Chains A and B, each alone.
Chain A
Amino acid sequence: KAGVTQTPRYLIKTRGQQVTLSCSPISGHRSVSWYQQTPGQGLQFLFEYFSETQRNKGNFPGRFSGRQFSNSRSEMNVSTLELGDSALYLCASSLELGVEAFFGQGTRLTVV
């Protein structure tokens, strides 16, 4: 079966702009989580969606938001980009939280 697909793979944005990242989970998976990975902070939890509802959110400013559609596809949006938002953004899908999660290859965001 197809894996988790994240688009785009690479993105370069300017400070102050906004960006939308997309994640298509494995068919049948209703839980989608997003993570930000940086060399200094490691893997930081952003938020988790299940059946279109955000169940939990990490300690990120309100500039970071997301949503999940009825087909379980998810998007995350970052507004007013800052240099510190440069990171690898990873999406993971699973049948439910706490069981095996399947990760996409990530979106490498560079803010200049």
Chain B
Amino acid sequence: SQQGEEDPQALSIQEGENATMNCSYKTSINNLQWYRQNSGRGLVHLILIRSNEREKHSGRLRVTLDTSKKSSSLLITASRAADTASYFCATLQGAQKLVFGQGTRLTINP
């Protein structure tokens, strides 16, 4: 089974609104990563948060990590049409494979 599970599976919002997606995982981690994938293309790394960090920012992205709940959230503020994509969280499983969740499909409506 997947290490990370994103929620919701799909999210549709208006341009300018904020988008929040969540990720839960099962085992202890050293870090958690978020990636974006535009339709049918490769994944692009967005941000990495270490297990001893609680929050991290990168531009319009804000990631939080709660290791006690084994969960993370990705917030995209002031969304744009170009943010339309699928978003995945990823964690290292067994130190030898990076495992991805099923992803959240985000649609930004103009």
Contact = CB atoms under 8 A, between A and B. Distances in A.
Contact of B100 (A4, A43, A48, A56): A43
Given A97-B92, A99-B48, A100-B48, A45 B33 contact: no
Interface stretch (A11-19, A61-69, A77-85, A104-112): A104-112
B102 A105 contact: no
Interface residues of B, number: 25
A43 B103 CA distance: 9
A42 B31 contact: no
A36 B94 CA distance: 19
A58 B90 CA distance: 15
A103 B35 CA distance: 10
A97 B96 contact: yes
B40 A97 contact: no
B39 to A, nearest CB: 11
Contacts of A48: 96-98
Contacts of A88: 40
Most buried by B among A98, A100, A101: A98
Q: Is the interface of B mostly helix, strand, loop or mixed?
A: strand
Interface in B51-110: 88, 90, 92, 94-103
A100 B45 contact: yes
Contacts of B33: 100-101
Nearest to B101: A42
A42 B100 contact: yes
A97 B97 contact: yes
Given A33-B97, A42-B102, A98 B92 contact: yes
Interface in B1-35: 2, 30-31, 33, 35
A33 B96 CA distance: 10
Contacts of B100: 35, 42-43
Interface of A: 4, 33, 35, 42-43, 45, 48, 55-56, 58, 88, 90, 92, 97-106, 108
